[in-house]
Structure 1
Amino acid sequence: MTIYFYKVNEPYGCFSNFSPHGVFLQGKHWQTVEHYYQAQKFVGTAEAAIIPVIHAVKTPEEAAALGRDCTRPVRPDWEQVKISVMREAVLQKFLTHKDIQAILLATGDTLLVENSPTDYYWGCGVDKTGQNHLGQVLMSVREQIRTVYTANNYC
């Protein structure tokens, strides 16, 4: 079985980076994982002034639009670090919010797939041939939490 997720208001919507589950990272509270992720694109760049703007916008959609603005150059190592940035934020989200952590753990070993019709990197794309990196990050976080949880309960 496979669990497909995408929209916040659909089943497993809490797996979306747009879900209203804030994270505390780098000394700040971020409204969503999407806010944090988009802001990290500009760390150490001439465009760093956009970081507090992304931090302050009201919705993850606004954060995404600012971060995806191709007129702003992203940090030179972005392609090398973007998965680890995402993983850090997703892990923090599920460590912080025990209610959605329980939902994630309850998926067992089921394949998790971001059912984005347009994103072939983070999701599966319209034809299901995408790389599904967000699903992979979630499954990795699920395993890490399960391992730590099990170790802490049985030692």
Structure 2
Amino acid sequence: MTIYFYSTRETPYGCFSNFSRHGFELDGLWWTTSEHYFQAQKFVETDRAWFDKIHGIATPREAATMGRNREHPLRKDWEQVKDEIMYRAVLTKFKSHSDLREILLNTGDELLVENAPNDYYWGCGKDGSGKNKLGITLMAVRKEL
């Protein structure tokens, strides 16, 4: 069986979304969501003020929008480190919340797929041909836990 997830409103798998409001401490800061952490990391070395704004922004949707703003320079190694940064955020989130960890572990060895129609890297895309990197990350975290 394949478990599809996308919206934070989906029960019980909405917590798999990076927009789920399950905060954690990582790199000495409290992060409201894994989306906040991921998007801010794009600018940690290049624009600390923008990093700080993303860190403190109210919603994960705003953090995502800010992280996609190319008026601010990305760290040079972003393409090489983004998967590991996502892994660290997701692992920390699930280590920090026993209820979420239980949901993830209860998926057993099922395939996890982010059913994001407009995302062909982190999700499966509209036609299912995407790389599903968030689903793969969650399965790797599940294995580690």
What TM-score bracket applies, with the shorter chain setting the length? over 0.9
1:3-152 pair list within 5 angstroms: 3-11=3-11, 12-45=13-46, 47-145=47-145
Task: Please identify the structure whose Cα radius of gyration is greater.
Answer: 1
Q: Pairwise CA RMSD of aligned residues?
A: 0.6
**Structure 2 residue aligned with 1:148:** none
The letter for the 2-side match of 1:69 is N
Q: Distance in 1 between matches of 2:78 and 2:85?
A: 9
1:70 Cα deviation after fit: 2.0
TM-score where L is the length of structure 1: 0.91
1:65-112 deviations in Å (ceiling 9; x for gaps): 110112222000000000000000100000000001000000000000
Distance in 2 between residues matched to 1:144 and 1:10, nearest whole Å? 24
Deviation (angstroms), 1:52:
1.0
* 1:54 counterpart letter in structure 2: I
TM value normalised by structure 2 = 0.98
Gaps in structure 2 of 5+ consecutive residues: none
Distance, in Å, in 1 between the alignment partners of 2:116 and 2:51 is 26
**Cα offset, 1:48, TM superposition:** 2.1
Determine the C-alpha separation between the residues in 2 that align with 1:75 and 1:52. Answer: 15
Counterpart amino acid of 2:18? N
Over the matched positions of the two proteins, sequence identity in percent amounts to 59
Secondary structure of 1:69's aligned partner: coil
Q: How many residue pairs get matched?
A: 144
Q: For residues 131-154 of structure 1, give each alpha carbon's deviation from its aligned partner in whole angstroms, at most 9, with x where no partner exists.
A: 000000000000000xxxxxxxxx
Structure 2 residue matching 1:119: 3-state secondary structure: coil
- Per-residue CA deviations over 1:18-57 (Å, capped at 9, x if unaligned) read 0010010011100000000000001111x22101111111
Which segments of structure 1 move beyond 3 Å, counting only runs of 4 or more? none
